[in-house]
């Protein structure tokens, strides 16, 4: 533990001077509001030329050693000893706390920064706006304790670029299945009604099955896979979406003042996740092509060709807050301001709701009973 603290002190004491201001020499950081580099000391700004053309994609089967490892400047990786998260920083950047769990037990990692991102979605939501988004979100947690809504401001919030993979694949599939078509027959049966037996007729749905087979081709473009094991997957999936049409070519200037997580889901693991999405898409497409009322016993054999990948970064504001010795996490989409997170529930508010429900039910029963005797 003593060595960990020493490493942490070394990290904490470093200064950031990657993009010096030409006016005052202070380090310039990326401004989400102005979409440029801005000096926090003299407010000088420098435009960043955004490239929005074709973004390079790489052959999945090529060796990782041949992939682009150039992040545009010297990078180093720090690792949280508590949750295992690895964060990519400029060589001289400062990191005091883990943005994922809030721990101060941060040490330098022997890992390199890995495959460089080809593109990213720049932050559009500033830290101030992100806190306002959280303020509005927590106020809408009607069952959250009132005291919680007064303690959110002191909590630290960190702008973090989250790693993702995207995959392209050209697929060719052969399939066999049974297709079913609905048809209806008239059947009669005896039923008892008011103590008497009577015969009724009804329409009964049946299915006529026949074998079918064929071929199916589909090209899948930019299948997105979260490459972080630290981001709450359930929360991440609740985001409506990131607008990937706003991807721009990666430049280190966009990371100035922010952190980037080193991917913890590697390229092969990412494809194993993406292929499930691809298989589901193929199955859905084949069922649609068969165009039957029902399909059963579907068997598909698929070949995957021209598999390409790219490494992209997506913007999130991350924070944790502690309430009654329990840690809660929340995330804010750095592109849209959408908030997702966990909040504690007040047992008193729940109890009050239950009591109110019981009272309402009792009133309804009383009024119904009174009407019956009227």
240 confidence band (pLDDT: 50, 70, 90): low
Please indicate, yes or no, whether residues 233 and 199 belong to a single structural domain of this protein.
no
Reported as type and span, the H/E element at residue 164 is strand 157-193
Please indicate, yes or no, whether residues 42 and 68 belong to a single structural domain of this protein.
yes
Please indicate, yes or no, whether residues 240 and 262 belong to a single structural domain of this protein.
yes
Please indicate, yes or no, whether residues 51 and 61 belong to a single structural domain of this protein.
yes
pLDDT at residue 15 tops 50: no
Identify whether the C-beta of residue 187 lies closer than 8 Å to the C-beta of residue 177: no
More confident residue, 15 or 286: 286
pLDDT at residue 219 tops 90: yes
Distance CA 358, CA 350 (A): 12
314 confidence band (pLDDT: 50, 70, 90): very high
Identify whether the C-beta of residue 120 lies closer than 8 Å to the C-beta of residue 313: yes
What is the length of the chain? 374
Beta bridge partners of 212: 177
The whole-chain average pLDDT of the chain stands at: 78
Q: Under 8 Å CB-to-CB from 88, ≥6 apart: which residues?
A: 71, 75, 76, 77, 113, 259, 260, 261, 262
Least confident of 11-20, 182-191, 234-243, 292-301: 11-20
pLDDT in tens, 260-282: 888 888 899 999 999 999 999 99
Residue 191 backbone dihedrals phi, psi, to 5 degrees? -130, 160
End-of-domain residue from the set 164, 194, 210: 210
Specify the pLDDT at position 92.
Answer: 45
pLDDT at residue 114 tops 50: yes
Distance of CA 124 to the CA centre of its chain: 17
Specify the pLDDT at position 13.
Answer: 31
Please indicate, yes or no, whether residues 119 and 157 belong to a single structural domain of this protein.
yes
Specify the pLDDT at position 16.
Answer: 35
The closest alpha carbon to 143, from 290, 324, 350, 317, belongs to 350
pLDDT in tens, 138-174: 777 665 666 655 655 545 788 889 999 999 999 999 9
Domain count, the chain: 3
Q: Under 8 Å CB-to-CB from 230, ≥6 apart: which residues?
A: 83, 84, 85, 100, 261, 264
Mean pLDDT, residues 255-262 taken together? 84
Domain that holds residue 351: 344-374
Distance CA 287, CA 308 (A): 26
User: DSSP letters of 327-345?
Assistant: EEEEEEETTT--EEE----
pLDDT in tens, 353-368: 667 677 777 777 767 7
pLDDT in tens, 174-187: 999 999 999 999 98
Could you tell me if residue 61 is left (phi over 0), alpha (psi between -120 and 50 degrees) or otherwise beta?
Answer: alpha
The CA distances from residue 125 to 34, 134, 244, 263, 328, in Å, are 10, 12, 16, 23, 22
Number of C-beta neighbours around residue 269 at 10 A? 15
Please indicate, yes or no, whether residues 50 and 164 belong to a single structural domain of this protein.
yes
The closest alpha carbon to 341, from 321, 324, 325, belongs to 321
Please indicate, yes or no, whether residues 311 and 349 belong to a single structural domain of this protein.
no
pLDDT in tens, 324-356: 777 677 888 999 998 887 665 555 555 556 676
Judging by DSSP bridges, how do beta strands 157-193 and 86-90 pair with one another?
unpaired
Could you tell me if residue 240 is left (phi over 0), alpha (psi between -120 and 50 degrees) or otherwise beta?
Answer: alpha
Q: Let me know the angle formed at the C-alpha of 50 by 48 and 53, rounded to the nearest 5 degrees.
A: 165
Please indicate, yes or no, whether residues 118 and 246 belong to a single structural domain of this protein.
yes
Please indicate, yes or no, whether residues 63 and 169 belong to a single structural domain of this protein.
yes
Please indicate, yes or no, whether residues 303 and 358 belong to a single structural domain of this protein.
no
Statement: the pTM of the whole predicted model exceeds 0.85: no
Quick one: tokens of 260?
A: 């980037």
Terminal CA-to-CA distance of the chain, rounded, Å? 79
The percentage of the chain sitting over the pLDDT mark of 90, rounded to a whole number, equals 30
> Measured on CA atoms in the order 129, 131, 132, 133, is the torsion positive or negative?
positive
Please indicate, yes or no, whether residues 264 and 374 belong to a single structural domain of this protein.
no
Please indicate, yes or no, whether residues 189 and 308 belong to a single structural domain of this protein.
no
Q: Under 8 Å CB-to-CB from 47, ≥6 apart: which residues?
A: 36, 37
Number of C-beta neighbours around residue 226 at 10 A? 18
């Amino acid at each position: 533990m003593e060595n960990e603290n020493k490493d942490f002190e070394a990290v904490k004491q470093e200064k950031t001077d990657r993009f010096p201001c030409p006016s005052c020499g202070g380090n310039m950081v990326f401004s989400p509001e102005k979409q440029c580099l801005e000096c926090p000391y003299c407010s000088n700004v420098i435009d960043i030329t955004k490239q929005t053309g074709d973004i390079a994609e790489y052959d999945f089967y090529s060796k990782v050693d041949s992939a682009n490892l150039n992040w545009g400047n010297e990078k180093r990786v720090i690792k949280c000893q508590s949750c295992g998260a690895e964060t990519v920083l400029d060589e001289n950047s400062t990191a005091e706390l883990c943005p994922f769990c809030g721990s101060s037990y941060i040490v330098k990692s022997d890992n390199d920064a890995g495959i460089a991102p080809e593109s990213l979605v720049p932050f559009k939501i500033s830290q101030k706006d992100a806190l306002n988004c959280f303020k509005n979100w927590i106020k809408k947690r009607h069952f959250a304790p009132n005291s919680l809504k007064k303690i959110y401001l002191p909590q630290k919030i960190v702008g973090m670029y989250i790693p993702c993979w995207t995959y392209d694949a050209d697929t060719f599939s052969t399939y066999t299945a049974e297709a079913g078509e609905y048809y209806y027959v008239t059947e009669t049966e005896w039923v008892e009604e008011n103590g008497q037996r009577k015969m009724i007729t009804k329409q009964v749905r049946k299915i006529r099955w026949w074998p079918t087979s064929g071929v199916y081709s589909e090209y899948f473009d930019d299948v997105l896979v979260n490459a972080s094991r630290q981001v709450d997957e359930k929360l991440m999936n609740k985001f409506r979406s990131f607008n990937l049409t706003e991807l721009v070519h990666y430049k280190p200037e966009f990371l100035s003042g922010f952190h980037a997580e080193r991917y913890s889901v590697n390229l092969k693991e990412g494809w194993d996740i993406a292929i499930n999405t691809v298989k589901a898409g193929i199955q859905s497409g084949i069922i649609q092509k068969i165009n039957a009322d029902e399909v059963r016993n579907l068997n598909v054999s698929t070949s995957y060709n021209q598999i390409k990948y790219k490494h992209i970064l997506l913007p999130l504001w991350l924070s944790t807050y502690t309430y009654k010795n329990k840690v809660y996490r929340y995330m804010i989409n750095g592109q849209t301001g959408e908030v997702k997170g966990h909040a504690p529930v007040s047992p008193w508010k729940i109890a009050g709701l239950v009591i109110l429900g019981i009272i309402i039910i009792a009133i309804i029963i009383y009024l119904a009973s009174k009407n019956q005797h009227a």
